Amino acid sequence: MAYLRTAGAASGILIVLLLLAEALVASEGFKATHSSALVRHRTRRQGHGPHRRYHPLAMQQTATATQQRGGVAADGEWTVSKPIPAPVVEDSRIDPRVKGGEKYLHLPRLYVYDHCPFCVRARMIFGLKNIKHDLVYMANDDIETPTHLIGKKMAPILEVRGRRPGEGLIMPESLDIVKYIDESEEIGAGLPLLKPFSGRSDLKEWLDSIAEPSRRLSRPRFAWSANLPEFAFDSARRTYIARHPLENPSSYEENYERSAEWIAALSEGLKKLDGMIANPQEGYISEGGISYDDIDMFPRLRNLSIVKGLEFPPNVKAYIEVLSKKTDVALYTKMAF
């Protein structure tokens, strides 16, 4: 009898614990849906539908693939199991569900790697125009997610989900994304902001001149950083190292150990750049205001901020700090090593 009573009490406690756990999971799910920086962890899916090709302004997907990703079904109804409540807009950023975008149920979503300069280009325009969005960090060895979206492993990818087929859009290519977001009336963030590329050859030549020391310094640091979400898994770090070989010396360890040499070369280059910035205090590099030149330059310099001991001369420092604030893309300075 005593044994039976104990068993009864134990199962009662178990049921209460299970109910509590379920409630916790439900509330966590709610929070994740509303987070503006959604870090998506890798999941292993059991097979998936045929790969979709990039098709601007059209959601080309099978119902199966859609259901797996919680998107729009062929009949235009959302396949998520629970209704999604209205968002809480905590800052002044524009929420396309509220302003001029009733047909969009979700925030625009940007799939990125944190260290990827092309992804930073795309992030910059969202920051500059104060457009609220979901940021999805893919693991560096996640082939399925980008392949599902655009047919290959590549970042960044923009996804704007519509209520019905034909209303959404999936777009690769950083400069296309920047242009679309800068000019889009549907996302609704005012007039275009960016001036065109200036065509300055000195900027291009400068970027070419620092490419090698930049690679040697930044790659080992990205791959070994504990803080970059795309490298949270060992397999992701190994994938990156395998796909980004260095030569003479080839090992990431040796390149890291010889940092002082590459820092010396890079510092010379940065001194030259210091005299090439039109307005460091306002954060633009070519006369006339912020332009595609800045969309190209800032991500490269931001990546160098992960190198401890690399001093940025005053104009370059002011330029990256101002642009970091304006674009809401943090520098790596505080986690440099």
Ligand X SMILES: N[C@@H](CCC(=O)N[C@@H](CS)C(=O)NCC(=O)O)C(=O)O
Residue ranges that bind ligand X, judged by CB under 6 A = 113, 116, 118, 153-156, 173-175, 243
Q: Dmax of the chain from CA atoms?
A: 89
Q: How far is the CB of 155 from ligand X (least distance, A)?
A: 4
- Nearer Cβ to ligand X (101/127): 127
Select 120 or 290, whichever has its Cβ closest to ligand X. 120
8 A C-beta contact, residue 89 and residue 132 = yes
- Please give the Cα distance from 171 to 304 (Å, whole number): 28
Please, are residues 27 and 20 in contact by the beta-carbon 8 Å criterion? Answer: no
Which of 118/298 has CB closer to ligand X? 118
Residues in Cβ contact with 176 at an 8 Å cutoff, skipping those fewer than 6 apart = none
The residues, any chain, with a CB within 8 Å of residue 276's CB and separated by 6 or more, are: 202, 203, 206, 285
Please, what is the minimum distance in Å from the beta carbon of residue 243 to ligand X? 6
Smallest distance from ligand X to CB 21, Å: 37
The least distance separating ligand X from the CB of residue 228, rounded to whole angstroms, comes to: 12
* Rounded CA separation 208/11 (Å): 68
What residues have CB less than 8 Å from 189, skipping those under 6 apart?
94, 129, 130, 131, 181
Q: Looking at beta carbons only, is 173 or 182 nearer to ligand X?
A: 173
Nearest distance, CB of residue 275 and ligand X, angstroms = 28
CB-nearer residue toward ligand X: 34 or 153 = 153
Q: How far apart are CA 151 and CA 312, in angstroms?
A: 39
CB of 302 vs ligand X, minimal distance in Å: 13
Closer CB to ligand X, 107 or 112, in the complex: 112
